[in-house]
Amino acid sequence: MESSLRVPDILIRKRDGLALSPGQMRHIVLGYSQGDVPDYQMSAFLMAVTLRGLSQEETIELTRCMIDSGQTVTFPNLGRPTVDKHSTGGVGDKTTLVLAPLLASLGLAVPKLSGRGLGHTGGTLDKLESIPGFRTNLTLEEFHTVVSEIGVAIMGAAAELVPADQKMYALRDVTGTVDSPALIASSIMSKKLAIVTDALVLDVKVGQGAFFATVDAASEFAKTAQAISNAFGRRTAFVLTDMEQPLGFAVGNALEVREAIETVHGHGPSDLLDVCAVLALQLMQSIMPQVSVEEARDRIRRAIQSGDALRTFCTWIAHQGGDPDIVNKQDGLPWSRRQETVRSTQSGYVTGINCRSLGHIAQVLGAGRTRKEDTVDPAAGLVLHVKHGSRVQVGDDLATLHTNLIGSLDKSREALLDAIQIAGEIPAERPIILGVIENKDSDP
Ligand code: URA
């Protein structure tokens, strides 16, 4: 007999820790997405899931329902394999800006949806919009056209895709139900699976600046996400990367675009380059298993050194309305009116950089949002002059703050000194890559 489809019965079942049937999951999720289930019932559902958890089967079913709430997008007849990448969010994470044109220059197609920053983390759309003229609000038709012409396009989440997640995420934000492993995995994977690509890689950030504070929590997430992707027959690899300090040196939109351009040129920070290379390698191995790891690494290196990746970057920027000349002009991207370098008051080694605090400082300087409706200042942010393990003397530069907001420098100076720990002993080295879970054969 089909279990009860009355919403109060579904809520009681989950409240008591019992499994929901696929029909019950569909009833509540699609009912909410279509406006038949009110916010108060969905809030109770989300809280029950957060407290009681979901089984793997329920998590897969929830993901399926969320995808079915909207359209899926496919790219038939492109003539190139399609790949996608997702990061669980961090500070200074400009990986997509480097990786997307790099992969396109290697003959892959990268149709990617990205998000905006909120709180201490940045968002790729905000970074791209710091490029004069760049449009992220493409229609799905324009998205298809740009991908088929040049192999890469990035746009914001379309209303037609996974509308259930858009509504549920907004509710989770205000009901204390963001931190549920099952809800996080289904939310992320539903959006990735709604864009049908041949291979996917997830950059799972680990540390106090990230969603997952420990390698164990990140691995647990990766296991659930892999089970979901296998159920949908999607090849997905996971790379666990360190977020105990920002990636690269720049935090803030235009500042990060500048650093990404340096990296596409081959002159960027080594941690950023390493993460991009490992993510690219995982995708190439999923798509071209016949190519050896050495050959794949070599192709990645050559794409950067030959200038192919940079040429693709410029073509892509131009196709989405941006000014490709930003790669040549010092003032092609906005600069803030006020800049101040904060100097060390101690001597020793940098033993810790509090990523979350740096994200908040960038936000105070104008680079981030407190509420979804806030606008961001494309020029604001900060550029570190040190990394974990750097040796510093009193008076050495620690970071330069960039802002247009009067008064924000006063609030940020002390916070920056607090965020960078300096001690007498050389700290142990921090690897940037903390683990790789290779794509396993999917089981459609
Ligand atoms: N990012 C998402 O898209 N969803 C979550 O639930 C968490 C992070």
- Report whether residue 114 contacts ligand 1, using a CB cutoff of 6 Å: no
For residue 444, name the pLDDT band (cuts at 50, 70, 90): very low
Q: Which residues are catalytic?
A: 86, 165, 172, 187, 191
How crowded is residue 329: how many other Cβ atoms within 10 Å of its Cβ? Answer: 9
The pLDDT of residue 1: 46
The tens digit of pLDDT for each residue in 279-321 reads 999 999 999 999 999 999 999 999 999 999 999 999 999 999 9
Does residue 59 have a pLDDT over 50? yes
Residue 2's pLDDT is 60
Give pLDDT tens digits for 310-356: 999 999 999 999 999 999 988 999 999 999 999 999 999 999 999 99
Q: Which residue, by CA, sits nearest to atom 7 of ligand 1?
A: 184
Q: What is the pLDDT of residue 343?
A: 98
Instruction: Verify whether ligand 1 is closer than 6 Å to residue 188 (CB atom).
Output: yes
State the Cα–Cα distance between residues 275 and 273, nearest whole angstrom.
6
- The percentage of the chain sitting over the pLDDT mark of 90, rounded to a whole number, equals 88
Say how many Å lie between the CA of residue 390 and the centre of ligand 1: 33
CA of 398 to the centre of ligand 1 (A): 32
Atom of ligand 1 nearest to the CA of 186: 6
Q: State pLDDT tens for residues 63-87.
A: 999 999 999 999 998 999 999 999 9
pLDDT in tens, 223-276: 999 999 999 999 999 999 999 999 999 999 999 999 999 999 999 999 999 999
- Name the burial class of residue 169, with classes exposed (0-12), middle (13-18) and buried (19+) by CB atoms within 10 angstroms of its CB: middle
Distance from residue 185's CA to the centre of ligand 1 (Å): 7
The closest residue, in CA terms, to atom 1 on ligand 1 is 188
Protein residue closest via CA to atom 5 of ligand 1: 184
Per-residue pLDDT, averaged over 128-157, amounts to: 95
* Ligand 1 centroid, distance to 93 Cα (angstroms): 16
Which pLDDT tens digit goes with each residue over 158-171? Answer: 888 999 999 998 89
Structure tokens at 4: 């009860």
What residue's CA is closest to ligand 1, atom 2?
188
Q: Tell how far CA 298 is from the center of its chain.
A: 26
Ligand 1 centroid from CA 69, angstroms: 17
Nearest CA residue ID for atom 3, ligand 1:
188
Establish whether residue 50 lines the binding site of ligand 1, counting it when its CB lies within 6 angstroms of any ligand atom: no
* Residue at token pair 């997905």: 236
pLDDT at 443 over 60: no
CA distance 66 to 321: 32
Lowest mean pLDDT across 78-82, 154-158, 434-438: 154-158
Q: What is the pLDDT of residues 198-237, one digit of tens each?
A: 999 999 999 988 889 999 999 999 999 999 999 999 999 9
- The average confidence (pLDDT) of the chain is 94
The tokens for 110 are: 């990268």
State the distance from the centre of ligand 1 to the C-alpha of 227, rounded, in angstroms. 17
**pLDDT band with cut points at 50, 70 and 90 for residue 441:** low
Secondary structure (DSSP) of 18-79: PPPPHHHHHHHHHHHHTTSS-HHHHHHHHHHHHHH---HHHHHHHHHHHHHTS--B--TT-S
Which of 49, 67, 169 gets mutated to test ligand 1 (max ligand atoms within 8 A of its CB)?
169
